[in-house]
Amino acid sequence: MRDLSAGPRVLLKRLRELMAEPLDPQERLDRIVRQIAQNMVAEVCSVYVLRSDGILELYATEGLNKDAVHLAQLQMGQGLVGTIAASAQPLNLSDAQAHPAFTYLPETGEEIYHSFLGVPILRTGRSLGVLVVQNRTSRVYRDDEVEALETVAMVLAEIIATGELKKITRPGLELDLSRPVSIEGASFGEGAGLGYVVLHEPRIVVTNLLNEDTDHELSRLAEALGSLRISIDDMLSRRDVSMEGEHRAVLEAYRMFAHDRGWVRKLEEAIRNGLTAEAAVERVQSETKARMMRLTDPYLRERMHDFDDLANRLLRQLTGYSLRPSNADFPADSIVVARAMGAAELLDYPRENIRGLVLEEGAVTSHVVIVARTMGIPVVGQATGAVALAENGDAVIVDGDEGRVHLRPMVDLQRAYEEKVRLRARRQAQFRSLRDVPPLTQDGQRIRLQMNAGLMVDLPHLAESGAEGIGLFRTELQFMIASTMPKMEDQEAFYRNVLKQAAGKPVTFRTLDIGGDKVVPYFRAAEEENPALGWRAIRLSLDRPGLLRTQLRALLRAAAGLELRLMLPMVTEVAELKAVRELLQKEVQRQSKMGEKLPRKLQFGAMLEVPSLLWQLDELMEEVDFVSVGSNDLFQFTMAVDRGNARVADRFDVLGKPFLRMLREIVRAGERNGTSVTLCGEMASKPLSAMALLGIGFRSVSMSPTAVGPIKAMLLALDAGKLAATLNPLLDDRQSSLSPRQMLIDFAEAHSIPL
């Protein structure tokens, strides 16, 4: 082989010309391997492409037997080619046949060739095939020759990714990039959705691969790296970033990667070999990711996400890429796939187009999941690898009932799910038929079924579901989806419209609950080590009384002549209620003084989410007109379980004795004081846990709109008194090993209660 110092640039220029010519896929591949062989003075150049069945098929060759094309095959891990694909590492051998992995394929006629250089064809860390050059003479290929072949392999990866090779793939076979994949996750929201992948943070597709000016590209890289390093250093030096902890550890890892000379040298070398700066980043990112994906050390594998994110940041610096597709480009049947996301980010998407949500992280009680369920879309969480395996536009099925994601599903599976969706629609129609049936248990107990909401688009569900009212209206969602702080007039118009759409049914407005994981873009709070236990909800509102008084004024004016029900979130002490009541009274007096019409009735309540209120129950019940139990946060704070941390979110059971006993005490305190008590949270949305609530005395619950039908079907078949007579003694029994959950399941089965 000759010196390749200028070779890669000449080769890439010729490949660019071949890519632009109007050739059929097979001829294009044949001419590419011929060009590579000529440029590298190799007697053989071959391209193997990975099929969906795990077979590497010879797609083109220069030097081997032409009749072997599309016939010669190796399994993943078999032979030298299979070893390269499986390991995602190049092989550089002076005597290929002496290697223990060598497999002889007689149809190729390659036995006369000794020297062997093979590199994986990688895209986003995945092996799509293998590119090989061979020579008769025994020799070891130089590092610059390996680098040149890896650069060419990147171009081939884009050819495979475009789907062009489908035209020459034998009937009945598929390439690996289109291979069906099923991912086991966790059910976060019921239902099934069929549609097409929309990556929440889509990988940047680099279309400009080959550079015209090496010095210019090196300068662009240096400038982007400088900006990246400055931004990381700025984040680390900020006062609100603590000196230790997980957040700082991640930023330190970013800084380590950003200043790593080995990484930078690889980027610069790829540019000198003819790639643009962004193509160089993509190539090195893909190679590094392929290696890290195969590591067994969990810490190092975790750092892969840090490196991936850093490389994506650098790509965005270079390309000026916008993360979010415009609404015009948003598919009609979209399944949003993300590592993690906030509730406001989900609401940024055109709601009517979303058919499902897939998350690699998060937990069933995280706010984005709550909002998704309110939107009535199925959600699968803990779907590890979904982002890496999915491509924008891939067909996908989200099974929220079973917690599965099916990427690029087979036709038979797709048809089966289409039938499942039709069956579910018929079941929903049956629930709708119960809409006007009074919610009475078998023993005549009337249960008040309400729904949770937060946006205008939720309001039609009030009539459709048959809910008696809105037990929880999350006012913060209006703030979270706005780019600027909503003015008092905008808030008033919004609340007035909500009451109008409710058509006389009661609406319970929760005052602003921001902070923690509810990020408002225009309200920057100091970063906290544990934001869930920090400056949020009523604490923030009392510290910013102007913010709270503006909202109270808007609510009072919107409810003029009507009933106004409002409640405060995350109350910790009864004194907080008294402080807000004073502010509310000032607003009432102001409105009266201004001659403005007041609500005809004002109901003042509190959310019971903080365990400290359990030792103030009677004082609480005396201070308010009603109490609403926020079971999600109450469980989180009681059990010391971060509801956004999947490792512990399911560690304790909401239907365990401790939590059910606690909820029962709240109900009894309400009865003692003549104060109405309701529960709004995840527990109310599941028939089994809702049944437990009725058993311990709750007669009012609020849930997602889609849950109203199933909950009503359950209670219509339930004898609440008989359940209470079975459940309460079990909660008091210190000796019994029977879990309340199992008792409830047995009870439902014995009495034919639909769950």
Max CA distance (Å), the chain = 101
What is the structure's pLDDT at 241?
A: 44
CA dist 714 → 270, 626, 749 (Å): 64, 26, 12
What is the structure's pLDDT at 263?
A: 82
Average pLDDT over residues 694-698: 97
Q: CA 236: distance to chain centroid? A: 27
Q: Provide the strand spans (E) within 367-407.
A: 379-381, 395-399, 404-407
Strands 404-407 and 379-381: unpaired
| Residue 379 or residue 522, greater confidence | 379
| Residue 351 or residue 649, greater confidence | 351
Say yes or no to pLDDT of 290 above 80.
Answer: no
| CA 469/CA 16 separation, integer angstroms | 64
| Residue 533 or residue 437, greater confidence | 437
What is the structure's pLDDT at 387?
A: 82
| Residue 513 or residue 727, greater confidence | 727
pLDDT (tens digit, 9 = 90+) per residue, 206-220? 767 778 888 898 989
User: With b meaning 16 or more CB within 10 Å and e meaning fewer, what string describes 728-745?
Assistant: bebbeeeeeeeebbebbb
Average pLDDT over residues 640-645: 72
Listed ranges 307-321, 352-366, 415-429, 561-575; the one with the highest mean pLDDT: 561-575
Q: Which of 159-168, 312-321, 349-358, 485-494 has the lowest mean pLDDT?
A: 312-321
Q: Could you tell me where in the chain the CATH 3.20.20.60 domains are found? A: 440-750
Backbone angle region of 415, left / alpha / beta, with phi > 0 → left and psi within -120 to 50 → alpha:
alpha
Q: Which of 4-13, 60-69, 226-235, 387-396 has the lowest mean pLDDT?
A: 4-13
Say yes or no to pLDDT of 309 above 90.
Answer: no
Say yes or no to pLDDT of 3 above 60.
Answer: no
Of the CA atoms within 13 Å of residue 264, those in its CB half-sphere come to: 18
| CA 164/CA 173 separation, integer angstroms | 14
Say yes or no to pLDDT of 250 above 60.
Answer: no
> Residue 480 has which token pair?
């979270």
Helices (H), ranges, 433-534:
460-465, 476-480, 488-502
Are the C-beta atoms of 705 and 461 separated by less than 8 Å? yes
Q: CA 576: distance to chain centroid? A: 36
Query: pLDDT band at 242, cuts 50/70/90?
Result: very low
Q: Could you tell me where in the chain the CATH 1.10.274.10 domains are found? A: 214-319
What is the structure's pLDDT at 659?
A: 96
Q: Tell me the pLDDT of the chain averaged across its residues.
A: 85
Query: pLDDT band at 585, cuts 50/70/90?
Result: very high
pLDDT (tens digit, 9 = 90+) per residue, 97-127? 889 888 888 888 777 888 999 999 987 777 8
What is the structure's pLDDT at 4?
A: 40
Give the list of residues 6+ apart from residue 666 with CB closer than 8 angstroms, or none: 608, 614, 617, 627, 629, 677
pLDDT (tens digit, 9 = 90+) per residue, 131-190? 999 999 988 888 878 888 888 888 888 888 878 888 888 887 878 777 788 898 988 888
Average pLDDT over residues 672-701: 95
Are the C-beta atoms of 230 and 424 separated by less than 8 Å? no
Query: pLDDT band at 479, cuts 50/70/90?
Result: confident
Radius of gyration of the chain (CA): 31
pLDDT (tens digit, 9 = 90+) per residue, 504-529? 999 999 998 876 656 565 565 566 66
Query: pLDDT band at 249, cuts 50/70/90?
Result: low
What is the structure's pLDDT at 304?
A: 60
Q: Which residues are catalytic?
A: 367, 680
Shortest CA distance to 587 belongs to which of 546, 620, 626, 623?
A: 546
The CATH classification of domain 214-319, taken from the options 1.10.10.10, 3.30.70.100, 3.30.1490.190, 1.10.274.10: 1.10.274.10
Q: Could you tell me where in the chain the CATH 3.30.450.40 domains are found? A: 7-178
Average pLDDT over residues 271-285: 84
pLDDT (tens digit, 9 = 90+) per residue, 386-434? 887 888 888 999 999 889 999 988 888 888 888 888 877 777 788 888 9
Q: Which fold has domain 440-750?
A: TIM Barrel (3.20.20)
| Residue 480 or residue 78, greater confidence | 78
CATH superfamily of 7-178: GAF domain (3.30.450.40)
Sign of the alpha-carbon dihedral angle for 208, 209, 211, 214: positive
What is the structure's pLDDT at 576?
A: 94
| CA 191/CA 377 separation, integer angstroms | 7
Are the C-beta atoms of 574 and 535 separated by less than 8 Å? no
| CA 617/CA 574 separation, integer angstroms | 9
What is the structure's pLDDT at 226?
A: 85
Query: pLDDT band at 1, cuts 50/70/90?
Result: very low
Percent of the chain with pLDDT over 70: 87
User: With b meaning 16 or more CB within 10 Å and e meaning fewer, what string describes 165-201?
Assistant: beebbeeeebbbbbeebebebbbbbbbbbbbebbbbb
What is the structure's pLDDT at 240?
A: 42
Q: Which fold has domain 181-202+324-426?
A: Glucose Oxidase; domain 1 (3.50.30)
What is the structure's pLDDT at 644?
A: 60
Shortest CA distance to 631 belongs to which of 606, 656, 610?
A: 610
Strands 44-50 and 55-62: antiparallel
What is the structure's pLDDT at 645?
A: 67
| CA 80/CA 61 separation, integer angstroms | 16
DSSP-assigned letters across all residues of 170-192: PTT--BGGG--EEEE-EEEE-SE
CA dist 296 → 25, 122, 284 (Å): 39, 20, 21
| CA 181/CA 317 separation, integer angstroms | 32
Q: 317-324 contacts: CB < 8 A, separation 24 or more?
A: 317/224, 317/227, 317/228, 318/220, 318/221, 318/224, 318/277, 318/278, 318/281, 319/204, 319/206, 319/278, 321/204, 323/201, 323/202, 324/348
What is the structure's pLDDT at 528?
A: 65
Shortest CA distance to 1 belongs to which of 12, 13, 11?
A: 11
Are the C-beta atoms of 43 and 181 separated by less than 8 Å? no
What is the structure's pLDDT at 505?
A: 96
Q: Could you tell me where in the chain the CATH 3.50.30.10 domains are found? A: 181-202+324-426
Average pLDDT over residues 614-618: 96
Cα dihedral value 631, 636, 637, 641, nearest 10: 160
| CA 753/CA 469 separation, integer angstroms | 25
Say yes or no to pLDDT of 499 above 90.
Answer: yes
